Amino acid sequence: MHRLIYALLVAAFCAVLLQTGVWAAAPKATVIKNVEVFDATGAAPWRGTVVIRDGRIVDAGPKAKVPRGAKVIDGKGRALLPGLYDVHTHWSPRGTPSALPEIAARYLAAGVTTVNDFHQAPEAFAPRRDWLTSVPSPHVNFVARMSTPGGHGADWSDQSTTKWVFTPESAKRAVQELLPYEPDYIKVFTDGWRYGTSPEETSMNEETLVALLDEAHANGLRILTHTVTSARGGQAARAGVDIIAHSLQDRALSEEDLADIVASGLYYAPTLAIYEPRGNLDMENAATRQRVWKYGLAEENLRTLFAAGVPVALGTDAGIGSLVHGEGTLRELELLVKAGLSPTDALIAGTANSAAALGLLEDRGTIEAGKRADLILVDGKPWETISDIRKISLVFVDGKLLHDAAKPAPLPPLTLPVLTAQPLIDDFEREDGRTALDTLAVTDLDFGAERSVIASARRPLPEGGHALSVSAQMARKDKPMAGVVFPLSRGSVAPVDVTAYEGVSLDLFGEGEYTLRILTLTGYWEARVSAGKGWQSLSAPFSAFAFTGNPESAPAWTGKDLLQVGVMASRPGGESAWFEIDNIGFYSAD
């Protein structure tokens, strides 16, 4: 009897230890054996075994042992490589594909396990990071953006998306403003050259770039630049840029520029895939023709830099134009070889070099014990024939099998769960400048190099409370526009359902006609409203909103996919516009 009681007590104690993790069972290992390994360390490929446990490579080599109880994958006839990188992509709503789960799946299918996304406003970083935890995905780094007033990158975005700086002081402040969003890196548009097809946009002076870099590096942030001319490549090098994320292609590199770049130790990601002449390019477009014409210089400067010892990384600019996510990365590897790199050098560019460029080489990028188990299994030998990299069979991220070419997994939902709309968008009573929905309003809608100048301020009303005052000096161009946009969820990431409401309502004080604009997952919808003397309470039913795209392909209004509501003014170029708004939201029939 005593023995039975003792045995029961011991069993209960052991159960407690297991439950609390004190005696947690060792995680089951995954083993890929009998496989030819390209480890990206510079060593020749070797045949052997790689052991994975708890997301890490715990053993790798010709003599590595298979642990008891491990899940074993026979790699006979196949090759194992580190996961690929793409240090320059845009997860754009107008890219191919456009939905986050689709983009993630495309990169996994292409063997890409680490990606930089250059496209998101900082407000979207946190919700998109949360979203990615529920979607099979590569590691996605979110990159904040900085440019100059009138510069590339500032020509289509507001200052909540791309910071505009033109002095050392403003550059340092802008870096500090970005820190609460925890960007992984910062992209800086230093170069306004437009491929010789139009007048240049503004470029960043060296003093500002140096100050920006000093502040970013002091806060542990690496800098990638949009730099496309040889002279500014030298400037970027002297300033201390970490990665040039485009090709230098206005002319052949001078000896001075080359020496500066070599001495700096920066990495070079030429994004050849975005410049490559392709059959689906619009050759009637002058900018496209010019970029294609300069492609030979992009290849020439790549060869010069590589021969001089400048480390090459892999980036594509996928999501811009017609360059497809995932496919662009594989094509970039082929173009690096076509430009003169060996297949081995191209693969190292797409793995270890890119990891080093991003400061991640201690964590991943090669196949070595202790490294993160981001791995791809390939049917072929891409270090001999680079096109074999397209024969990807299995893709592991953190040791988890996320892509099996033989058993494609169904896509998860393409959007986040729909949120229920709140009746009030904003009454402008928060002192921190955020809306009643805890979102950040965007106060600039006028795209292009020539921008309307917009100012907005929360002002007290005589009768109590506050309103938003917006004024603008319209740009001297056709159809200038200015206004303010209110995201309905943080970063305009999650769609919102307004089917419980009849339309949009607001208090408006202004002069003349204004436009209410709604952004949905399917596009923009607009309705006109007029303001007279004094405050007016206005409402616009959803039935009054018309789709602004091609009417022949206009989607049906559902009311279940709203992202933003905005108020805009359009006046002749050179004129001014103003309005004040309060209590903007949705109204119901009762």
Q: What is the DSSP letter of 181?
A: G
Calpha distance 516→505 (Å, rounded): 10
pLDDT digits (tens, 9 = 90+) for 489-508: 999 999 999 999 999 999 99
pLDDT digits (tens, 9 = 90+) for 374-394: 999 999 999 999 999 999 999
Q: What is the DSSP letter of 530?
A: E
106 contacts 327 by C-beta, under 8 angstroms: yes
27 contacts 372 by C-beta, under 8 angstroms: no
pLDDT digits (tens, 9 = 90+) for 329-367: 999 999 999 999 999 999 999 999 999 999 999 999 999
pLDDT digits (tens, 9 = 90+) for 253-276: 999 999 999 999 999 999 999 999
Question: Per DSSP, what are the bridge partners of residue 518?
Answer: 525, 565
Question: How crowded is residue 119: how many other Cβ atoms within 10 Å of its Cβ?
Answer: 21
Nearest to 479 by CA among 448, 508, 454: 448
Predicted local confidence at residue 293, as pLDDT: 58
What's the 3-state SS for 446-487? CCCCCCCEEEEEEEECCCCCEEEEEEEECCCCCCCCEEEEEE
What's the 3-state SS for 88-132? EECCCCCCCCCCHHHHHHHHHHCCEEEEEECCCCHHHHHHHHHHH
pLDDT tens track of the chain, all 590 residues? 434 443 443 344 334 334 433 333 446 999 999 999 999 999 999 999 999 999 999 999 999 999 999 999 999 999 999 999 999 999 998 787 889 999 999 999 999 999 999 999 999 999 999 999 999 999 999 999 999 998 998 887 788 899 999 999 999 999 999 999 999 999 999 999 887 767 789 999 999 999 999 999 999 999 999 999 999 999 999 999 999 999 999 999 999 999 999 999 999 999 999 999 876 666 676 666 656 657 899 999 999 999 999 999 999 999 998 899 999 999 999 999 999 999 999 999 999 999 999 999 999 999 999 999 999 999 999 999 999 999 999 999 999 999 999 999 999 999 999 999 999 999 999 999 999 999 999 987 778 778 888 999 999 999 999 999 999 999 999 989 999 999 999 999 999 999 999 999 999 999 999 999 999 999 999 999 999 889 999 999 999 999 999 999 999 999 999 999 999 999 999 999 999 999 999 999 87
Location of structure tokens 């969003």: 181
Query: Which residues lie below 8 Å from residue 151, measured CB to CB, with a gap of 6+?
Result: 164, 189, 192, 201, 202, 203, 204
Query: Which residues lie below 8 Å from residue 466, measured CB to CB, with a gap of 6+?
Result: 427, 428, 429, 458, 459, 460, 582
Nearest to 90 by CA among 275, 325, 322, 319: 319
